[in-house]
Protein backbone atom coordinates (compact mmCIF):
# COMPACT_ATOMS: atom_id res chain seq x y z
CA UNK A 1 0.00 0.00 0.00
CA UNK A 2 1.46 3.44 -0.88
CA UNK A 3 2.53 5.57 2.05
CA UNK A 4 0.06 8.26 1.02
CA UNK A 5 -2.82 5.81 1.60
CA UNK A 6 -1.52 5.14 5.10
CA UNK A 7 -1.32 8.88 5.77
CA UNK A 8 -4.88 9.32 4.49
CA UNK A 9 -6.00 6.52 6.86
CA UNK A 10 -4.19 8.24 9.74
CA UNK A 11 -6.01 11.50 9.01
CA UNK A 12 -9.35 9.69 8.81
CA UNK A 13 -8.64 7.88 12.10
CA UNK A 14 -7.83 11.24 13.68
CA UNK A 15 -11.25 12.51 12.56
CA UNK A 16 -9.96 14.88 9.87
CA UNK A 17 -12.06 15.63 6.77
CA UNK A 18 -9.66 14.34 4.10
CA UNK A 19 -11.81 15.46 1.16
CA UNK A 20 -11.63 19.19 1.92
CA UNK A 21 -9.73 21.53 -0.40
CA UNK A 22 -6.80 21.82 2.01
CA UNK A 23 -6.47 18.15 2.94
CA UNK A 24 -7.30 16.31 -0.26
CA UNK A 25 -3.66 16.28 -1.49
CA UNK A 26 -2.04 16.32 1.95
CA UNK A 27 -1.22 12.57 2.01
CA UNK A 28 0.76 12.87 -1.23
CA UNK A 29 2.55 16.03 0.00
CA UNK A 30 3.44 14.36 3.30
CA UNK A 31 4.73 11.25 1.53
CA UNK A 32 6.86 13.42 -0.80
CA UNK A 33 8.29 15.33 2.19
CA UNK A 34 9.29 12.18 4.08
CA UNK A 35 10.89 10.58 1.03
CA UNK A 36 12.86 13.77 0.37
CA UNK A 37 13.82 14.29 4.03
CA UNK A 38 14.93 10.73 4.73
CA UNK A 39 16.72 10.43 1.39
CA UNK A 40 18.58 13.76 1.66
CA UNK A 41 21.65 13.67 -0.59
CA UNK A 42 24.12 14.94 2.05
CA UNK A 43 23.52 11.72 4.00
CA UNK A 44 25.64 10.10 1.30
CA UNK A 45 28.71 12.15 2.27
CA UNK A 46 31.21 9.39 2.91
CA UNK A 47 34.27 11.50 3.54
CA UNK A 48 35.44 15.04 3.98
CA UNK A 49 37.49 16.06 0.98
CA UNK A 50 40.64 17.36 2.56
CA UNK A 51 43.88 19.07 1.74
CA UNK A 52 47.20 19.58 3.49
CA UNK A 53 47.10 21.98 6.41
CA UNK A 54 49.53 24.83 5.87
CA UNK A 55 48.80 26.87 8.97
CA UNK A 56 48.87 26.08 12.66
CA UNK A 57 45.53 27.71 13.46
CA UNK A 58 42.23 26.86 15.02
CA UNK A 59 39.22 27.16 12.74
CA UNK A 60 35.74 28.16 13.94
CA UNK A 61 32.77 27.63 11.61
CA UNK A 62 29.72 29.52 12.87
CA UNK A 63 25.96 29.49 12.44
CA UNK A 64 25.48 26.31 10.42
CA UNK A 65 21.86 25.27 9.91
CA UNK A 66 20.40 22.28 11.71
CA UNK A 67 17.08 20.80 10.60
CA UNK A 68 16.00 17.44 11.89
CA UNK A 69 13.13 15.31 13.05
CA UNK A 70 12.73 13.99 16.58
CA UNK A 71 12.80 10.19 16.62
CA UNK A 72 10.59 10.18 19.72
CA UNK A 73 7.66 12.27 18.44
CA UNK A 74 8.23 12.63 14.67
CA UNK A 75 8.21 16.40 15.16
CA UNK A 76 10.79 18.82 13.77
CA UNK A 77 13.59 20.51 15.62
CA UNK A 78 15.88 23.15 14.23
CA UNK A 79 18.65 25.49 15.20
CA UNK A 80 22.29 26.22 14.62
CA UNK A 81 25.60 24.44 14.90
CA UNK A 82 29.07 25.75 15.61
CA UNK A 83 32.17 23.70 14.86
CA UNK A 84 35.73 24.35 15.89
CA UNK A 85 38.77 22.27 15.05
CA UNK A 86 42.52 22.51 15.24
CA UNK A 87 43.88 20.80 12.13
CA UNK A 88 46.54 18.15 12.31
CA UNK A 89 47.94 17.42 8.88
CA UNK A 90 44.61 17.74 7.01
CA UNK A 91 41.98 20.46 6.60
CA UNK A 92 38.62 20.46 4.80
CA UNK A 93 36.79 23.05 2.74
CA UNK A 94 34.44 25.09 4.90
CA UNK A 95 31.25 24.02 3.08
CA UNK A 96 32.01 20.42 4.01
CA UNK A 97 31.18 21.15 7.64
CA UNK A 98 27.59 22.09 6.76
CA UNK A 99 27.42 18.86 4.75
CA UNK A 100 28.70 16.91 7.76
CA UNK A 101 25.96 18.41 9.97
CA UNK A 102 23.37 17.62 7.28
CA UNK A 103 24.62 14.03 7.01
CA UNK A 104 23.50 13.32 10.56
CA UNK A 105 20.55 15.77 10.78
CA UNK A 106 18.36 14.59 7.93
CA UNK A 107 17.04 11.57 9.73
CA UNK A 108 14.81 10.48 12.58
CA UNK A 109 17.26 11.15 15.40
CA UNK A 110 17.96 13.19 18.51
CA UNK A 111 20.11 16.28 18.99
CA UNK A 112 22.67 14.47 21.13
CA UNK A 113 23.31 11.96 18.33
CA UNK A 114 23.81 14.67 15.72
CA UNK A 115 26.33 16.43 17.97
CA UNK A 116 28.32 13.28 18.76
CA UNK A 117 28.22 11.81 15.25
CA UNK A 118 29.33 15.11 13.66
CA UNK A 119 32.28 15.43 16.06
CA UNK A 120 33.28 11.79 15.58
CA UNK A 121 33.02 12.08 11.79
CA UNK A 122 35.29 15.13 11.68
CA UNK A 123 37.73 13.45 14.08
CA UNK A 124 37.82 10.26 11.99
CA UNK A 125 38.07 12.04 8.64
CA UNK A 126 40.67 14.71 9.41
CA UNK A 127 42.52 13.44 12.52
CA UNK A 128 42.66 16.97 13.92
CA UNK A 129 44.28 17.89 17.21
CA UNK A 130 40.79 18.54 18.55
CA UNK A 131 37.15 19.12 17.64
CA UNK A 132 34.24 20.88 19.31
CA UNK A 133 30.67 20.71 18.04
CA UNK A 134 27.89 22.74 19.64
CA UNK A 135 24.24 22.50 18.63
CA UNK A 136 21.48 24.70 19.96
CA UNK A 137 18.00 23.74 18.80
CA UNK A 138 14.35 24.48 19.41
CA UNK A 139 12.28 21.32 19.66
CA UNK A 140 8.66 21.50 18.56
CA UNK A 141 7.91 18.54 20.86
CA UNK A 142 8.66 20.98 23.72
CA UNK A 143 6.85 23.91 22.09
CA UNK A 144 3.68 22.26 20.76
CA UNK A 145 2.95 19.46 23.22
CA UNK A 146 3.58 18.49 26.82
CA UNK A 147 5.00 21.46 28.70
CA UNK A 148 4.39 23.87 25.78
CA UNK A 149 7.53 25.88 26.49
CA UNK A 150 7.74 28.30 23.56
CA UNK A 151 10.96 29.92 24.77
CA UNK A 152 13.09 26.87 25.49
CA UNK A 153 16.07 25.64 23.53
CA UNK A 154 18.52 22.81 24.09
CA UNK A 155 22.30 23.02 23.80
CA UNK A 156 24.56 20.00 23.32
CA UNK A 157 28.36 20.05 23.23
CA UNK A 158 30.82 17.35 22.18
CA UNK A 159 34.60 17.76 22.44
CA UNK A 160 37.60 15.68 21.43
CA UNK A 161 41.35 16.07 21.80
CA UNK A 162 42.62 19.59 22.54
CA UNK A 163 39.07 20.93 23.04
CA UNK A 164 38.42 18.26 25.67
CA UNK A 165 41.81 18.71 27.34
CA UNK A 166 42.25 22.50 27.19
CA UNK A 167 39.58 24.41 29.11
CA UNK A 168 40.92 27.78 27.86
CA UNK A 169 40.59 26.72 24.20
CA UNK A 170 37.10 25.40 24.86
CA UNK A 171 36.11 28.58 26.75
CA UNK A 172 37.45 30.79 23.95
CA UNK A 173 35.37 28.90 21.40
CA UNK A 174 32.21 29.07 23.51
CA UNK A 175 32.75 32.80 24.13
CA UNK A 176 32.99 33.41 20.38
CA UNK A 177 29.55 32.08 19.45
CA UNK A 178 26.18 33.81 19.60
CA UNK A 179 23.54 31.48 20.91
CA UNK A 180 19.97 31.48 19.66
CA UNK A 181 17.48 33.73 21.29
CA UNK A 182 14.16 31.80 21.31
Q: Collapsing DSSP states into helix, strand and coil, what is residue 61?
A: strand
The answer, as to whether pTM is greater than 0.75, is yes
**pLDDT (tens place) for every residue of the chain, 182 residues total:** 688 999 999 999 999 998 999 999 999 999 999 999 988 888 888 888 888 887 788 999 999 999 999 999 999 999 999 999 999 999 999 999 999 999 999 999 999 999 999 999 999 999 999 999 999 999 998 888 888 888 889 999 999 999 999 999 999 999 988 765 54
How far is Cα 169 from Cα 132, in angstroms, rounded to an integer?
10
Q: Collapsing DSSP states into helix, strand and coil, what is residue 25?
A: coil
The per-residue pLDDT for 182 is 43
How far is Cα 132 from Cα 58, in angstroms, rounded to an integer?
11
Amino acid sequence: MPVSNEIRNLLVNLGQPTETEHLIKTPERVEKFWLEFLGHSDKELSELTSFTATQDTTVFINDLNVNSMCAHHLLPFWGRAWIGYTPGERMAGLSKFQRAVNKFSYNLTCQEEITRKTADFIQEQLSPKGVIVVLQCVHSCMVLRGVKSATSSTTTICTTGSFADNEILKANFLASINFLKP
